[in-house]
Amino acid sequence: MTARKAATYTGIPAWVYAVAAAGALLVVLPLAAMVAKVNWANFIPLVTSESSLTALGLSLRTSAASTVLCIILGVPLALVLARGSFPGQRVLRSLVLLPLVLPPVVGGIALLYTFGRQGLLGRTLEVAGLQIAFSTTAVVLAQTFVALPFLVVSLEGALRIAGPRYEAVAATLGASPSTVLRRVTLPLVLPGLASGAVLSFARSLGEFGATLTFAGSLQGVTRTLPLEIYLQRETDADAAVALSLVLVAVAVAVVALAYRSPRAGRPATVERTTTAPAASGAVR
């Protein structure tokens, strides 16, 4: 795909390149500074210490769980937002996307007053023998809260671009709405769904504020990798840097997965739907 671009006129003024370079440096330079600070001699022992591995394992498990939860809840949400028509649709969209702009700590407090012991639902749940706050479940809930909008935004964009025409044809061919969803809509927006899921996973993996507020920092139960890094920074800077590098590596892998070249044997029509959701996810 890269070799394809011939010398077509771009219309970009030279100074734009200079400002763009400054922008890129702002992102790349701190990463480089961090990599330069890594204690390579002790890297393996630092990263494989018991507390680190526990935190990494917890992070991966909770992020995977919250990604699944995001897909289960986010696909119907995106569908009704993109295709449905009901009063309050615009308001619902704004509210669902709110966690994108909300400070995660605020999200954590909101969750605490919902599921916490004194919360809106917490009291009822406690009667039922369920205690959510400060448990692994709370970690998953906090991550889902902040990551859900990523999936919804990606998928809603894909659904809008794909348009309802294939669904209309499928219906006139005799397919029920559920069949249309399973055999037409979801396959058509699969690239958008995939990139949305990957972004949700990445957001879950990096979640800190809401988790700390709502779930606390209990080793093996709620202390995910970002919390572990923050804790280590106080006592063992080398460990914090090493673990940060692990998170960066995971993030790079995730981003590479989400923004990989869409030309991987997919038909042309689906291809078009791939780029836009990725772009709308990137707006954040």
Task: Report if residue 169 touches other proteins, rule: CB under 8 A.
Answer: yes
Query: For 157, how many CA atoms within 13 A lie in the half-sphere containing its CB?
Result: 23
Task: Report if residue 85 touches other proteins, rule: CB under 8 A.
Answer: no
With CB under 8 A as the contact rule, the residue among 12, 174, 235, 264 that binds other proteins is 174
Task: Report if residue 165 touches other proteins, rule: CB under 8 A.
Answer: yes
With CB under 8 A as the contact rule, the residue among 187, 252, 253, 256 that binds other proteins is 187
Q: Which stretch binds other proteins (CB under 8 A): 39-47, 98-106, 178-186, 246-254?
A: 178-186
Work out how close the CB of 169 gets to other proteins at its nearest, in angstroms, rounded to a whole number.
5
> What is the C-alpha separation between 19 and 25, in angstroms, rounded?
10
Task: Report if residue 261 touches other proteins, rule: CB under 8 A.
Answer: no
User: Counting Cβ atoms within 10 Å, is residue 232 exposed (0-12), middle (13-18) or buried (19+)?
Assistant: buried
Question: How many Cβ atoms are within 10 Å of 7's Cβ, its own excluded?
Answer: 5
Task: Report if residue 86 touches other proteins, rule: CB under 8 A.
Answer: no
Asked if 131 contacts 236 with a C-beta cutoff of 8 angstroms, the reply is no
Q: Which stretch binds other proteins (CB under 8 A): 34-42, 84-92, 231-239, 266-274?
A: 266-274
With CB under 8 A as the contact rule, the residue among 69, 188, 197, 241 that binds other proteins is 188
Work out how close the CB of 162 gets to other proteins at its nearest, in angstroms, rounded to a whole number.
10
> What is the C-alpha separation between 72 and 183, in angstroms, rounded?
17
| Max CA separation in the chain (angstroms) | 69
- Can you tell me which residue has the tokens 């991550």? 143
Task: Report if residue 168 touches other proteins, rule: CB under 8 A.
Answer: yes
